Amino acid sequence: MQNTLRFLGLLILFLHPLAVKSQEKGLAYSSEHLKIIAISENSYVHVSYLDIPDYGKFECNGLVYINNKEAVVFDSPSEEAVATELIKWIAEVKNSDVTAVVVNHFHDDCLGGLPSFHALGIPSFANQTTIILAREAGLPVPQVGFDTQMELEVGTGKVRNQYFGEAHTKDNIVSYIAEDRLLFGGCMIKAQDAKKGNLADANVQTWSQTVQKIKAAFPDLKTVIPGHGPTGSEELLEYTIAVFAPPK
């Protein structure tokens, strides 16, 4: 219950009409519990739903990157059954093997479905601090940790996973796919016109500074995926920086 209540603050994120619109363009798969949206030839946003008491469902974004029949999933759906559904789609429709799952931060909309990956022998990766926080919170624990940066090979492609500092949580990372000039920012990055959302584990003093570092590290971004709400481009970094900029 404590972990579910942690997300109640995120409901503010969806008050703007733009944020509640479904990302139907490029829809590759849809069921009651899962949507998969193509955003390039090899990259797909997976959208699952978090159940909030007295509210219902709201959308949570993750990413799938496929290259040469290998796939990496970024953030697991919060429910194991939905994680299994996602893995099945990758195997049966895309004829690809999931070789890893990368966890953005320790909240259960990022790692709740990890047991489904682990049961199939799929390794999970996260910031070392994510492992500590997930264990303390009684949530599924990622298997392999890194301190600042980790690169994964996916077929002939590469993914850079990196920690830049505290923001939405003290452990949040981003993942960058050079092939698509794509950044998966998770809940650290806000959808356009979204409110501040859940601040229960946030560092609002360093949030803007952290995103500024990300913007400087990836100057050629084409696509930016926030943790919730519609996909955008570099303007989502600029918007997030502005939302959390310290008062003048």
Catalytic site residue from 46, 107, 170, 215: 107
User: Catalytic: 110?
Assistant: no
User: Catalytic: 46?
Assistant: no
Catalytic site residue from 168, 171, 201, 215: 168
User: Catalytic: 107?
Assistant: yes
Q: Which helix (H) or strand (E) holds 60?
A: strand 56-67
User: Catalytic: 118?
Assistant: no
User: Catalytic: 190?
Assistant: yes
Asked if 179 and 198 touch (Cβ cutoff 8 Å), the reply is: no
Catalytic site residue from 75, 108, 109, 201: 109
Phi and psi at residue 69, to the nearest 5°? 70, 10
Catalytic site residue from 60, 104, 198, 201: 198
Catalytic site residue from 105, 161, 170, 172: 105
User: Catalytic: 16?
Assistant: no
CA distances from 191 to 48, 63, 134, 229 (A): 16, 15, 25, 5
Rounded to the nearest 10°, the torsion over CA 188, 194, 197, 203 is: 40
Catalytic site residue from 67, 190, 201, 215: 190
Tokens of 191: 């959808």
Known catalytic residues are 105, 107, 109, 168, 187, 190, 198, 228
